Structure 1
């Protein structure tokens, strides 16, 4: 038997505001966020492919969308955050901390729904960085990322962010009447400092030029 860990349970997240260079994360508030998110998710410029691998959406009826948003806001696991663009003040997406298990030091980033205004910008990466930073500051040992194994975009994102692939749970779920094989990824607490430093170099002003990034996140993490 291995030696005792001499480890204490993590703290549960409380959805306090988290502020970065490009965005701030705040607890999802339908009164503040509802109109922005309806426009982002269902407006003329919406990326409807966003819903392909999520267990809900797209929302044709506004009543269904409002009920979904209200249910998310009332939940504590998943604990939903709004992504608010600092330049415009617009709410441009949501994501959550979920599968929260303080006794085991395990937590997951999931339910990611970033609108088109966040894509091909640093904002989504910064949102993941801020939640990762919080997760480990709370004392967690393990940060998870899970997605449909057919979701190539989410798998590329996990690898880009520094998560390690752990395997596939076959026939893990039935989502929208389709089988879901689930790909599992993780970051451990002893891996986070180097990964966080890579995020910080990538997000720095000297790397985020007006015309785009100077160096990739992977290159910044390799330093």
Structure 2
């Protein structure tokens, strides 16, 4: 092995990207809006009501009153890392979920998607999937080199979602955290910038209106379109 190879590939022509500073991202079915307690909290609390299980693997929640959720949203909207967004269905105008960009490290070219809380209406929907695609697109087009997704290793729906998006499985970090008094092993997934062009084409193909029937059901699965891009698949799925 040459000395240069032993030191790692030289990164040429890359500069640290900007931190995310946008308030809105729009797609065909989705509108991502910077979280605002006054604008979104009441609708989100209603959407989450009676669905406490969605907080099982989250560091926050469950919330047992609208006032309690409003207080959390007020604190979250003031944060720049995590940077929280509300997910709005453009067809219905309703807000039914949140997500965030976090561990934002322009100096490393790395950024993560997390704090994903989806009401039953948005779970496994094209609205939510497009929201994630919009954030991945923004990151790579802005110049980030690495887009990460981490979740509790017991959270199989989250692991399936990451793989469906074409993010590669990178392993389990054992005893990575203590969350709500319980051990958390963390599953890591990521995509890197060289994988973005084929991922972008897969997203565009999946998001074509022609890929959905009259009931909004997909004809071609996103996971099938992204399968050739993934460097490694999750052996637990």
TM-score, length basis structure 2: 0.89
Structure 1 residues 210 and 191, CA gap change in structure 2 (3 angstroms): same
Give the root-mean-square deviation of aligned CA atoms: 1.4
Alignment of 1:72-87 (within 5 A): 72-87=76-91
Match of 1:40 among 47, 57, 81: 47
- CA shift at 1:222, angstroms? 5.4
Alignment of 1:114-193 (within 5 A): 114-193=118-197
| Contact 1:197–1:221 (Cα < 8 Å) also in 2 | no
Provide, for residues 50-104 of structure 1, a one-character-per-residue CA deviation record: whole Å limited to 9, x for no partner. Answer: 1010011111133321111111111000001111111121111110110000001
| Contact 1:198–1:218 (Cα < 8 Å) also in 2 | no
Provide structure 2 residue ranges, at least 5 long, that are not aligned to the other structure.
1-6, 229-237
Q: Which residue of 2 aligns with 1:219?
A: 224
TM-score, length basis structure 1: 0.94
Counterpart secondary structure, 2:209: coil
Aligned counterparts of 2:223 and 2:154: Cα–Cα separation in 1 = 23
Aligned length: 220
Within the alignment, does 1:194 sit opposite 2:201 as a pair?
no
Provide structure 1 residue ranges, at least 5 long, that are not aligned to the other structure.
none
Aligned counterparts of 1:167 and 1:3: Cα–Cα separation in 2 = 23
| Contact 1:15–1:79 (Cα < 8 Å) also in 2 | no
Counterpart secondary structure, 1:140: coil
Match of 1:95 among 70, 92, 99: 99
Within the alignment, does 1:29 sit opposite 2:33 as a pair?
no
| Contact 1:165–1:185 (Cα < 8 Å) also in 2 | yes
- CA shift at 1:3, angstroms? 5.0
- CA shift at 1:201, angstroms? 0.7
Aligned counterparts of 1:221 and 1:3: Cα–Cα separation in 2 = 26
Aligned counterparts of 2:37 and 2:48: Cα–Cα separation in 1 = 14
Aligned counterparts of 1:74 and 1:220: Cα–Cα separation in 2 = 37
Counterpart secondary structure, 1:186: strand
**Which shifted more, 210-219 or 2-11?**
2-11
